[in-house]
Amino acid sequence: MPTYAWTVIGAGPAGIAAVGRLLDHGIAPDEIAWIDPAFAGGDLSQKWRSVSSNTIVGTFLSFLNGSAAFGFSEAPRTPLQEIDPEDTCALGLVADPLVWVTQRLRERVHVLQTTATSLSLHNREWKIETQQRELTSRNVVLAVGAVPKKLDYPHLDEIPVEVALDPEKLADQSLDGATVAVFGSSHSSMIVLPNLLRHPVKRVINFYQSPLKYAVYLDDWILFDDTGLKGRAADWARENIDGVYPERLERCWVSGPEFREKLDACDRVVYTVGFQRRHLPETPQWGRLEYNQQNGIIAPGLFGLGIAFPEYAEDPYGFGQYRVGLKKFMDYLDSILPLWLRYGP
Ligand SMILES: Cc1cc2nc3c(=O)[nH]c(=O)nc-3n(C[C@H](O)[C@H](O)[C@H](O)COP(=O)(O)OP(=O)(O)OC[C@H]3O[C@@H](n4cnc5c(N)ncnc54)[C@H](O)[C@@H]3O)c2cc1C
Protein backbone atom coordinates (compact mmCIF):
# COMPACT_ATOMS: atom_id res chain seq x y z
CA MET A 1 0.00 0.00 0.00
CA PRO A 2 1.62 3.35 -1.00
CA THR A 3 2.34 5.84 1.80
CA TYR A 4 2.38 9.58 1.18
CA ALA A 5 3.49 12.50 3.32
CA TRP A 6 0.33 14.43 2.46
CA THR A 7 -3.04 13.54 0.91
CA VAL A 8 -5.45 16.25 -0.15
CA ILE A 9 -9.09 15.15 -0.45
CA GLY A 10 -11.07 17.44 -2.76
CA ALA A 11 -10.03 19.39 -5.84
CA GLY A 12 -12.15 22.53 -5.55
CA PRO A 13 -10.43 25.88 -4.99
CA ALA A 14 -9.41 24.89 -1.43
CA GLY A 15 -7.87 21.57 -2.49
CA ILE A 16 -6.09 23.32 -5.36
CA ALA A 17 -4.68 25.89 -2.91
CA ALA A 18 -3.56 23.13 -0.52
CA VAL A 19 -1.71 21.14 -3.20
CA GLY A 20 -0.08 24.32 -4.56
CA ARG A 21 1.06 25.54 -1.18
CA LEU A 22 2.41 22.11 -0.08
CA LEU A 23 4.54 22.06 -3.23
CA ASP A 24 5.62 25.67 -2.57
CA HIS A 25 6.72 24.56 0.91
CA GLY A 26 9.04 21.99 -0.60
CA ILE A 27 7.00 18.81 -0.16
CA ALA A 28 8.14 16.55 -3.01
CA PRO A 29 5.41 15.99 -5.66
CA ASP A 30 5.66 12.19 -5.35
CA GLU A 31 4.97 12.55 -1.61
CA ILE A 32 1.55 14.12 -2.31
CA ALA A 33 -1.65 12.24 -3.21
CA TRP A 34 -4.70 14.10 -4.44
CA ILE A 35 -8.21 12.58 -4.47
CA ASP A 36 -11.34 13.87 -6.22
CA PRO A 37 -14.02 12.19 -8.33
CA ALA A 38 -13.81 14.80 -11.12
CA PHE A 39 -10.82 17.20 -10.88
CA ALA A 40 -12.98 19.79 -12.60
CA GLY A 41 -12.51 22.91 -10.48
CA GLY A 42 -14.99 22.01 -7.72
CA ASP A 43 -18.50 23.41 -7.41
CA LEU A 44 -17.54 26.87 -8.61
CA SER A 45 -16.72 25.35 -11.99
CA GLN A 46 -19.34 22.61 -12.10
CA LYS A 47 -22.36 24.47 -10.69
CA TRP A 48 -21.88 28.21 -10.43
CA ARG A 49 -20.31 29.26 -13.75
CA SER A 50 -23.07 31.64 -14.79
CA VAL A 51 -23.31 33.30 -11.35
CA SER A 52 -22.03 36.85 -11.02
CA SER A 53 -19.15 36.92 -8.50
CA ASN A 54 -19.13 38.88 -5.28
CA THR A 55 -15.33 39.15 -5.45
CA ILE A 56 -13.51 41.54 -7.75
CA VAL A 57 -11.35 40.19 -10.57
CA GLY A 58 -8.14 41.48 -8.95
CA THR A 59 -8.77 39.24 -5.93
CA PHE A 60 -9.23 36.17 -8.13
CA LEU A 61 -6.01 37.01 -9.97
CA SER A 62 -4.18 37.33 -6.71
CA PHE A 63 -5.40 33.81 -5.75
CA LEU A 64 -4.24 32.43 -9.12
CA ASN A 65 -0.85 34.15 -8.80
CA GLY A 66 -0.64 33.24 -5.11
CA SER A 67 1.19 29.93 -5.45
CA ALA A 68 4.39 29.46 -7.46
CA ALA A 69 3.37 25.84 -8.11
CA PHE A 70 0.25 27.02 -9.98
CA GLY A 71 2.56 28.42 -12.69
CA PHE A 72 -0.25 30.79 -13.65
CA SER A 73 2.17 33.26 -15.23
CA GLU A 74 2.73 30.59 -17.92
CA ALA A 75 -0.99 30.02 -18.57
CA PRO A 76 -2.47 31.15 -21.90
CA ARG A 77 -4.07 34.59 -21.46
CA THR A 78 -7.68 34.22 -20.34
CA PRO A 79 -10.73 36.54 -20.61
CA LEU A 80 -10.43 37.10 -16.83
CA GLN A 81 -7.26 39.11 -17.47
CA GLU A 82 -9.07 41.37 -19.96
CA ILE A 83 -11.53 42.68 -17.34
CA ASP A 84 -11.01 45.71 -15.11
CA PRO A 85 -9.49 44.21 -11.92
CA GLU A 86 -11.94 46.30 -9.84
CA ASP A 87 -14.98 44.73 -11.54
CA THR A 88 -16.83 41.55 -10.63
CA CYS A 89 -17.32 38.84 -13.28
CA ALA A 90 -19.15 35.61 -14.09
CA LEU A 91 -17.62 32.78 -12.03
CA GLY A 92 -17.07 30.83 -15.28
CA LEU A 93 -14.21 33.20 -16.04
CA VAL A 94 -12.51 32.06 -12.83
CA ALA A 95 -13.41 28.42 -13.39
CA ASP A 96 -11.39 28.06 -16.60
CA PRO A 97 -8.08 29.13 -15.02
CA LEU A 98 -8.86 26.89 -12.01
CA VAL A 99 -9.23 23.93 -14.35
CA TRP A 100 -5.95 24.88 -16.08
CA VAL A 101 -4.13 25.03 -12.72
CA THR A 102 -5.69 21.70 -11.69
CA GLN A 103 -4.39 20.06 -14.84
CA ARG A 104 -0.93 21.42 -14.21
CA LEU A 105 -0.84 20.21 -10.59
CA ARG A 106 -2.23 16.79 -11.62
CA GLU A 107 0.79 16.26 -13.83
CA ARG A 108 3.06 16.57 -10.79
CA VAL A 109 1.38 14.84 -7.83
CA HIS A 110 -0.15 11.38 -7.51
CA VAL A 111 -3.80 11.56 -8.53
CA LEU A 112 -6.69 9.24 -7.61
CA GLN A 113 -9.89 10.03 -9.47
CA THR A 114 -12.33 8.62 -6.94
CA THR A 115 -14.13 9.38 -3.66
CA ALA A 116 -12.55 8.88 -0.23
CA THR A 117 -14.90 6.83 1.93
CA SER A 118 -13.17 6.44 5.30
CA LEU A 119 -10.24 7.62 7.39
CA SER A 120 -8.63 5.93 10.35
CA LEU A 121 -5.42 6.47 12.30
CA HIS A 122 -3.14 3.46 12.86
CA ASN A 123 0.52 3.34 13.74
CA ARG A 124 0.90 7.10 13.34
CA GLU A 125 -0.46 7.03 9.79
CA TRP A 126 -3.84 7.71 8.26
CA LYS A 127 -5.40 4.85 6.37
CA ILE A 128 -7.60 6.29 3.61
CA GLU A 129 -10.13 4.04 1.96
CA THR A 130 -11.50 5.12 -1.39
CA GLN A 131 -13.99 3.65 -3.82
CA GLN A 132 -10.97 2.29 -5.74
CA ARG A 133 -8.25 1.30 -3.29
CA GLU A 134 -6.54 2.06 0.02
CA LEU A 135 -3.59 4.32 0.68
CA THR A 136 -1.80 5.62 3.76
CA SER A 137 -0.62 9.11 4.48
CA ARG A 138 1.06 10.85 7.40
CA ASN A 139 -1.16 13.90 6.93
CA VAL A 140 -4.54 14.52 5.31
CA VAL A 141 -6.22 17.74 4.25
CA LEU A 142 -10.01 17.55 3.93
CA ALA A 143 -11.26 20.10 1.38
CA VAL A 144 -14.57 18.45 0.53
CA GLY A 145 -16.77 21.50 0.04
CA ALA A 146 -20.39 22.14 0.99
CA VAL A 147 -23.91 21.69 -0.35
CA PRO A 148 -26.82 24.16 -0.31
CA LYS A 149 -28.97 23.98 2.85
CA LYS A 150 -32.66 23.33 2.47
CA LEU A 151 -35.74 23.96 4.56
CA ASP A 152 -38.52 21.45 4.93
CA TYR A 153 -41.65 22.54 3.05
CA PRO A 154 -42.43 19.31 1.20
CA HIS A 155 -45.71 20.55 -0.29
CA LEU A 156 -43.73 23.00 -2.48
CA ASP A 157 -42.06 21.81 -5.67
CA GLU A 158 -38.40 22.79 -5.28
CA ILE A 159 -36.29 24.52 -7.92
CA PRO A 160 -32.72 23.60 -6.89
CA VAL A 161 -30.59 26.67 -6.23
CA GLU A 162 -28.07 25.68 -8.90
CA VAL A 163 -30.96 25.78 -11.43
CA ALA A 164 -32.38 29.07 -10.16
CA LEU A 165 -28.95 30.72 -10.33
CA ASP A 166 -28.39 29.66 -13.93
CA PRO A 167 -30.60 31.49 -16.48
CA GLU A 168 -30.19 28.71 -19.06
CA LYS A 169 -31.22 25.94 -16.68
CA LEU A 170 -34.05 28.06 -15.26
CA ALA A 171 -35.44 28.52 -18.79
CA ASP A 172 -36.16 24.75 -18.85
CA GLN A 173 -38.50 25.01 -15.85
CA SER A 174 -42.20 25.52 -16.44
CA LEU A 175 -42.82 28.72 -14.52
CA ASP A 176 -45.89 30.09 -16.32
CA GLY A 177 -48.27 31.41 -13.69
CA ALA A 178 -46.23 29.96 -10.83
CA THR A 179 -46.00 31.61 -7.43
CA VAL A 180 -42.45 31.03 -6.29
CA ALA A 181 -41.24 31.27 -2.70
CA VAL A 182 -37.60 32.32 -2.33
CA PHE A 183 -36.19 31.88 1.17
CA GLY A 184 -33.17 33.99 2.12
CA SER A 185 -31.50 37.38 1.73
CA SER A 186 -28.06 36.21 0.60
CA HIS A 187 -25.93 36.98 -2.47
CA SER A 188 -27.61 34.00 -4.15
CA SER A 189 -31.10 35.29 -3.24
CA MET A 190 -30.41 38.63 -4.92
CA ILE A 191 -29.43 36.80 -8.12
CA VAL A 192 -32.29 34.29 -8.02
CA LEU A 193 -35.01 36.95 -7.56
CA PRO A 194 -34.28 38.90 -10.79
CA ASN A 195 -33.67 35.61 -12.63
CA LEU A 196 -37.18 34.45 -11.69
CA LEU A 197 -38.79 37.80 -12.48
CA ARG A 198 -37.53 37.52 -16.08
CA HIS A 199 -39.98 34.61 -16.48
CA PRO A 200 -43.78 34.75 -16.73
CA VAL A 201 -44.23 33.83 -13.06
CA LYS A 202 -47.40 35.11 -11.41
CA ARG A 203 -45.57 36.22 -8.28
CA VAL A 204 -42.33 35.80 -6.39
CA ILE A 205 -42.49 36.00 -2.61
CA ASN A 206 -39.19 36.53 -0.86
CA PHE A 207 -39.28 35.19 2.71
CA TYR A 208 -36.70 36.95 4.89
CA GLN A 209 -35.52 36.99 8.50
CA SER A 210 -33.57 40.23 8.87
CA PRO A 211 -32.56 43.47 7.12
CA LEU A 212 -30.14 43.26 4.21
CA LYS A 213 -26.47 43.70 4.90
CA TYR A 214 -24.06 45.35 2.45
CA ALA A 215 -20.28 45.07 2.27
CA VAL A 216 -18.45 48.42 2.54
CA TYR A 217 -14.95 48.81 1.08
CA LEU A 218 -12.80 50.68 3.58
CA ASP A 219 -9.10 51.56 3.23
CA ASP A 220 -7.55 48.23 4.14
CA TRP A 221 -10.48 45.99 5.05
CA ILE A 222 -14.07 45.30 4.06
CA LEU A 223 -16.96 45.72 6.47
CA PHE A 224 -19.27 42.64 6.29
CA ASP A 225 -16.81 41.10 3.85
CA ASP A 226 -18.31 37.61 4.16
CA THR A 227 -21.93 38.28 5.03
CA GLY A 228 -22.66 41.51 3.14
CA LEU A 229 -24.00 41.89 -0.38
CA LYS A 230 -21.48 42.95 -3.02
CA GLY A 231 -21.26 43.61 -6.75
CA ARG A 232 -24.33 43.25 -8.97
CA ALA A 233 -26.33 41.50 -6.26
CA ALA A 234 -25.86 44.53 -3.97
CA ASP A 235 -26.77 46.97 -6.78
CA TRP A 236 -29.96 45.02 -7.52
CA ALA A 237 -30.90 44.76 -3.84
CA ARG A 238 -30.47 48.49 -3.17
CA GLU A 239 -32.73 49.40 -6.11
CA ASN A 240 -35.34 46.70 -5.73
CA ILE A 241 -35.49 45.50 -2.14
CA ASP A 242 -34.43 48.54 -0.16
CA GLY A 243 -35.75 50.72 -3.02
CA VAL A 244 -39.02 50.00 -4.86
CA TYR A 245 -40.20 46.42 -5.26
CA PRO A 246 -40.54 45.41 -8.91
CA GLU A 247 -43.96 44.32 -10.09
CA ARG A 248 -44.81 40.72 -9.08
CA LEU A 249 -42.31 40.74 -6.15
CA GLU A 250 -43.55 40.60 -2.58
CA ARG A 251 -41.60 40.17 0.62
CA CYS A 252 -42.72 38.46 3.79
CA TRP A 253 -41.02 38.30 7.20
CA VAL A 254 -40.87 34.65 8.28
CA SER A 255 -41.87 35.55 11.85
CA GLY A 256 -44.76 37.80 10.76
CA PRO A 257 -48.47 36.98 11.05
CA GLU A 258 -48.89 36.56 7.27
CA PHE A 259 -46.19 33.91 6.87
CA ARG A 260 -48.41 30.83 6.70
CA GLU A 261 -50.98 32.40 4.39
CA LYS A 262 -48.29 33.69 1.99
CA LEU A 263 -46.50 30.36 1.98
CA ASP A 264 -49.74 28.52 1.22
CA ALA A 265 -50.14 30.73 -1.88
CA CYS A 266 -46.86 29.37 -3.31
CA ASP A 267 -46.39 26.29 -5.47
CA ARG A 268 -42.63 26.37 -6.17
CA VAL A 269 -39.73 27.13 -3.81
CA VAL A 270 -36.03 28.08 -3.98
CA TYR A 271 -33.89 27.84 -0.84
CA THR A 272 -31.04 30.35 -0.81
CA VAL A 273 -30.28 29.94 2.87
CA GLY A 274 -26.59 29.09 2.97
CA PHE A 275 -24.44 25.98 2.79
CA GLN A 276 -23.57 22.99 4.97
CA ARG A 277 -20.49 20.79 4.95
CA ARG A 278 -20.59 17.93 2.46
CA HIS A 279 -20.78 14.40 3.90
CA LEU A 280 -17.28 13.54 5.14
CA PRO A 281 -15.44 10.24 4.80
CA GLU A 282 -16.38 8.05 7.78
CA THR A 283 -14.11 8.22 10.85
CA PRO A 284 -15.32 5.10 12.72
CA GLN A 285 -12.76 5.52 15.54
CA TRP A 286 -14.44 8.74 16.73
CA GLY A 287 -17.73 9.34 14.94
CA ARG A 288 -18.33 12.94 13.96
CA LEU A 289 -15.22 15.11 14.34
CA GLU A 290 -15.12 18.84 15.12
CA TYR A 291 -12.51 21.26 13.75
CA ASN A 292 -10.68 24.16 15.31
CA GLN A 293 -12.14 27.28 13.66
CA GLN A 294 -8.96 29.29 14.09
CA ASN A 295 -6.42 26.81 12.70
CA GLY A 296 -8.30 24.04 10.87
CA ILE A 297 -6.90 21.22 13.03
CA ILE A 298 -9.27 18.24 13.30
CA ALA A 299 -6.88 15.63 14.73
CA PRO A 300 -3.11 15.06 14.62
CA GLY A 301 -2.24 15.08 10.92
CA LEU A 302 -5.87 15.73 9.89
CA PHE A 303 -6.83 19.22 8.79
CA GLY A 304 -9.84 20.99 7.26
CA LEU A 305 -9.87 23.77 4.66
CA GLY A 306 -12.29 25.55 2.37
CA ILE A 307 -16.02 26.15 2.62
CA ALA A 308 -16.45 22.90 4.61
CA PHE A 309 -14.12 24.14 7.38
CA PRO A 310 -14.00 27.93 7.12
CA GLU A 311 -11.90 30.12 9.37
CA TYR A 312 -13.93 32.11 11.89
CA ALA A 313 -12.42 35.55 12.35
CA GLU A 314 -13.41 38.92 13.80
CA ASP A 315 -13.19 42.23 11.97
CA PRO A 316 -11.56 45.29 13.62
CA TYR A 317 -14.89 46.08 15.36
CA GLY A 318 -15.21 42.57 16.78
CA PHE A 319 -17.87 41.30 14.37
CA GLY A 320 -17.22 37.59 13.71
CA GLN A 321 -17.78 35.86 10.36
CA TYR A 322 -16.86 32.63 8.60
CA ARG A 323 -14.29 33.50 5.93
CA VAL A 324 -15.29 31.98 2.60
CA GLY A 325 -13.72 32.78 -0.76
CA LEU A 326 -10.76 31.70 -2.86
CA LYS A 327 -8.27 34.34 -1.74
CA LYS A 328 -9.36 33.91 1.87
CA PHE A 329 -8.64 30.16 1.69
CA MET A 330 -5.15 30.95 0.39
CA ASP A 331 -4.42 33.64 3.01
CA TYR A 332 -5.68 31.37 5.79
CA LEU A 333 -3.56 28.50 4.51
CA ASP A 334 -0.52 30.76 4.56
CA SER A 335 -1.09 31.46 8.23
CA ILE A 336 -1.86 27.89 9.32
CA LEU A 337 0.33 25.69 7.10
CA PRO A 338 3.42 26.23 9.29
CA LEU A 339 1.36 24.74 12.18
CA TRP A 340 0.03 21.87 10.09
CA LEU A 341 3.56 20.97 8.96
CA ARG A 342 4.43 20.40 12.64
CA TYR A 343 1.23 18.74 13.86
CA GLY A 344 1.54 15.22 12.48
CA PRO A 345 0.50 12.11 14.46
C1 LIG B 1 -23.42 31.48 -5.66
C2 LIG B 1 -22.00 31.54 -5.19
C3 LIG B 1 -21.18 32.62 -5.49
C4 LIG B 1 -19.87 32.65 -5.04
N5 LIG B 1 -19.08 33.72 -5.35
C6 LIG B 1 -17.80 33.74 -4.96
C7 LIG B 1 -16.94 34.81 -5.31
O8 LIG B 1 -17.34 35.77 -5.95
N9 LIG B 1 -15.66 34.78 -4.87
C10 LIG B 1 -15.16 33.75 -4.14
O11 LIG B 1 -13.98 33.77 -3.79
N12 LIG B 1 -15.96 32.72 -3.78
C13 LIG B 1 -17.25 32.70 -4.19
N14 LIG B 1 -18.05 31.67 -3.83
C15 LIG B 1 -17.55 30.69 -2.89
C16 LIG B 1 -16.77 29.64 -3.58
O17 LIG B 1 -17.31 29.25 -4.81
C18 LIG B 1 -16.73 28.42 -2.69
O19 LIG B 1 -16.49 28.81 -1.39
C20 LIG B 1 -15.63 27.54 -3.12
O21 LIG B 1 -15.80 27.12 -4.44
C22 LIG B 1 -15.52 26.36 -2.19
O23 LIG B 1 -14.38 25.67 -2.55
P24 LIG B 1 -14.02 24.30 -1.82
O25 LIG B 1 -12.80 23.82 -2.50
O26 LIG B 1 -14.03 24.49 -0.36
O27 LIG B 1 -15.26 23.34 -2.15
P28 LIG B 1 -15.82 22.73 -3.52
O29 LIG B 1 -15.68 23.67 -4.65
O30 LIG B 1 -17.19 22.21 -3.22
O31 LIG B 1 -14.85 21.49 -3.81
C32 LIG B 1 -14.86 20.33 -3.03
C33 LIG B 1 -14.39 19.18 -3.89
O34 LIG B 1 -14.22 18.04 -3.05
C35 LIG B 1 -14.73 16.90 -3.70
N36 LIG B 1 -15.08 15.90 -2.68
C37 LIG B 1 -16.07 15.97 -1.76
N38 LIG B 1 -16.07 14.88 -0.98
C39 LIG B 1 -15.05 14.10 -1.43
C40 LIG B 1 -14.54 12.84 -1.03
N41 LIG B 1 -15.07 12.14 -0.01
N42 LIG B 1 -13.49 12.31 -1.73
C43 LIG B 1 -12.93 12.99 -2.75
N44 LIG B 1 -13.37 14.21 -3.16
C45 LIG B 1 -14.41 14.75 -2.50
C46 LIG B 1 -15.94 17.42 -4.45
O47 LIG B 1 -16.30 16.54 -5.49
C48 LIG B 1 -15.39 18.77 -4.96
O49 LIG B 1 -14.73 18.61 -6.20
C50 LIG B 1 -19.37 31.60 -4.26
C51 LIG B 1 -20.17 30.51 -3.96
C52 LIG B 1 -21.48 30.48 -4.43
C53 LIG B 1 -22.33 29.30 -4.09
Ligand 1: which atom is nearest the Cα of residue 328?
Answer: 11
Residue 58 lies in a domain: yes
Q: Is the dihedral of CA 93, 99, 104, 109 positive or negative?
A: positive
Give the end of a domain, one of 212, 247, 271. 271
Pick the last residue of a domain from 271, 304, 321: 271
Share of the chain above pLDDT 90, in %: 99
* pLDDT, average across residues 310-327: 97
Q: What are the beta bridge partners of residue 52?
A: 90
Q: Is residue 246 part of a domain?
A: yes
Task: Give the integer Cα–Cα distance in Å for 1 and 6.
Answer: 15
What pLDDT is attached to residue 6? Answer: 98
Q: CATH number for the domain including 162?
A: 3.50.50
332 assigned to some structural domain = yes
Task: Provide long-range contacts, Cβ within 8 A and 24+ apart, for 132-138.
Answer: 134/1, 135/1, 135/2, 135/3, 135/4, 135/7, 135/33, 136/1, 136/2, 136/3, 136/4, 137/3, 137/4, 137/5, 137/6, 137/7, 137/33, 138/3, 138/4, 138/5, 138/6, 138/301, 138/344, 138/345
**CA torsion 342→15→51→273, rounded to 10°?**
-60
Q: Is residue 124 in some structural domain?
A: yes
Residues 216 and 122 in one domain: no
Structure confidence by residue, pLDDT tens digits, 156-190: 999 999 999 999 999 999 999 999 999 999 999 99
Residue 156 shares a structural domain with residue 58: no
Regarding the beta carbon of 7 and ligand 1, being less than 6 Å apart is answered no
Banded pLDDT at 202 (limits 50, 70, 90):
very high
Average pLDDT over every residue of 85-96: 96
Q: Is residue 345 part of a domain?
A: no
How buried is residue 123: exposed, middle or buried, by Cβ count under 10 Å (0-12/13-18/19+)?
A: exposed
User: Which secondary structure element, helix H or strand E, spans residue 151, and what is its range?
Assistant: none
* Domain-terminating residue out of 271, 289, 318: 271
Cβ–ligand 1 distance for 36 under 6 Å, the answer: yes
What mean pLDDT value characterizes the chain? 97
Let me know whether 154 and 143 are in one domain. no
For residues 209-222, give the mean pLDDT.
Answer: 96
Given this model, what pLDDT does residue 2 score?
A: 83
pLDDT value of residue 177: 95
**Number of domains observed in the structure of the chain:** 2
Q: Whose CA is nearest to atom 38 of ligand 1?
A: 144
Express the helix, strand and coil content of the chain in percent, nearest 5 each: 30, 25, 45
Report, as an integer, the average pLDDT of 232-259: 97
The atom of ligand 1 lying closest to the CA of 40 is 49
pLDDT at 117: 98
**160 and 228 together in one domain:** yes
Q: Are residues 136 and 82 in the same domain?
A: yes
One domain, residues 216 and 236: yes
Q: Pick the atom of ligand 1 nearest to 88's CA.
A: 8
Same domain, 155 and 218: yes
How do residues 21-78 score in pLDDT, each as one tens digit?
999 999 999 999 999 999 999 999 999 999 999 999 999 999 999 999 999 999 999 9
Give the span between the Cα atoms of 126 and 133, in whole angstroms.
14
Q: Is the CB of 6 under 6 A from ligand 1?
A: no
Does 122 map to a domain? yes
Interatomic CA distance for residues 336 and 342, integer angstroms: 10
Q: What is the CATH number of the domain that holds 56?
A: 3.50.50.60
* Contact 325 CB / ligand 1 (< 6 Å): yes
Quick check: helix, strand or coil at residue 105? helix
Asked if residue 313 belongs to a domain, the reply is yes
pLDDT band of 1, cuts 50, 70, 90: confident
Examine the domain organization and report whether 105 and 218 are in the same domain.
no
Cα of 200 vs centre of ligand 1, distance in Å, is 32
Confidence label for 103 from pLDDT (cuts 50, 70 and 90) = very high
In this structure, are 247 and 279 located in the same domain?
Answer: no
Instruction: Give the whole-angstrom CA distance, residue 221 versus residue 261.
Output: 43
- Let me know if residue 35 belongs to a domain: yes
Overall size of the chain counted in residues: 345
Looking at the structure, tell me whether residues 281 and 266 fall in a common domain.
no
Residues 164 and 114 in one domain: no
Question: For ligand 1, is residue 12 a contact (CB within 6 Å)?
Answer: yes
- C-alpha to C-alpha distance for 225 and 87, rounded to whole angstroms: 16
* Boundaries of domain holding 244: 150-271
Shared-domain flag, residues 105 and 184: no
pLDDT digits (tens, 9 = 90+) for 269-279: 999 999 999 99
> 10 C-alpha to center of ligand 1: Å?
9
pLDDT of 250 > 80? The answer is yes
